[in-house]
């Protein structure tokens, strides 16, 4: 885990912040995400049909499921002392570049792109790459924005 203070976090801009542990994406997680979002498209939840019709014969995780893992996977990578709270502010760019088949393991790689003062806080822009174990192409590359406050 990298650490900085509110006043020194900007010195980490341009650096890799960390890499998370691998997490397996199982069918139960995919099904629960489908239930939470109402997205029950067969490519995600119909195991038998996927065996016949999907490349590799497996269901795939929702792209937004992959994206939603970012706060959890990156949560322990950077400790900024002197911060009272942090919020997700948005994203500049998100690309889903590869399918995450059920049973795959994914992890996050985070790079701090910029840290810029904002009224009462600091805006952090990160490039987060969700890698798939054994695959060249990542599942997702996202430029995320968060705000931290003293």
- Taking only the tens place, the pLDDT of each residue in 18-61 is 999 999 999 999 999 999 999 999 999 999 999 999 999 999 99
Phi, psi at residue 23, to the nearest 5°? -130, 130
Query: Is the pLDDT assigned to residue 1 strictly greater than 90?
Result: no
What three-state secondary structure class fits 134?
coil
CATH number at residue 96: 3.10.129.10
Mean predicted lDDT score pLDDT of the chain: 96
Could you list the residue range(s) of the whole structural domain that residue 15 is in? 2-24+60-149
Please state the pTM of the whole predicted model. Answer: 0.94
Q: How many CB atoms lie within 10 A of CB 135?
A: 15
| Mean pLDDT along residues 66-89 | 94
Any domain includes 70: yes
**pLDDT tier at 119, thresholds 50, 70, 90:** confident
Question: Positive or negative CA dihedral for 16, 95, 71, 103?
Answer: negative
Any domain includes 36: no
Any domain includes 52: no
| Mean pLDDT along residues 120-124 | 94
Q: What's the structural domain count of the chain?
A: 1
Question: Positive or negative CA dihedral for 106, 142, 88, 40?
Answer: negative
Any domain includes 14: yes
- Alpha carbon 46 to its chain centroid, in Å, reads 25
> What is the pairing mode between strands 78-81 and 2-5?
parallel
């Amino acid at each position: 885990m990298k650490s900085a203070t509110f006043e020194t976090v900007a010195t980490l801009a341009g650096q890799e912040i960390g890499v998370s542990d691998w997490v397996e994406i199982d069918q139960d997680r995919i099904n629960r995400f489908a239930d939470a979002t109402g997205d029950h498209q067969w490519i995600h939840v119909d195991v038998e049909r996927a065996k016949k019709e999907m490349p590799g014969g497996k269901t795939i995780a929702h792209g937004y499921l992959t994206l939603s893992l970012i706060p959890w996977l990156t949560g322990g990578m950077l400790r900024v002392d002197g911060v009272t709270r942090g919020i997700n502010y948005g994203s500049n760019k998100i690309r889903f570049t590869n399918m995450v088949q059920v049973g795959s393991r994914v992890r996050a790689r985070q790079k701090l792109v910029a840290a810029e003062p904002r009224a009462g806080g600091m805006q952090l822009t990160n490039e987060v790459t969700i890698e798939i174990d054994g695959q060249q192409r990542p599942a997702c590359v996202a430029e995320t924005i968060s705000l931290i406050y003293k």
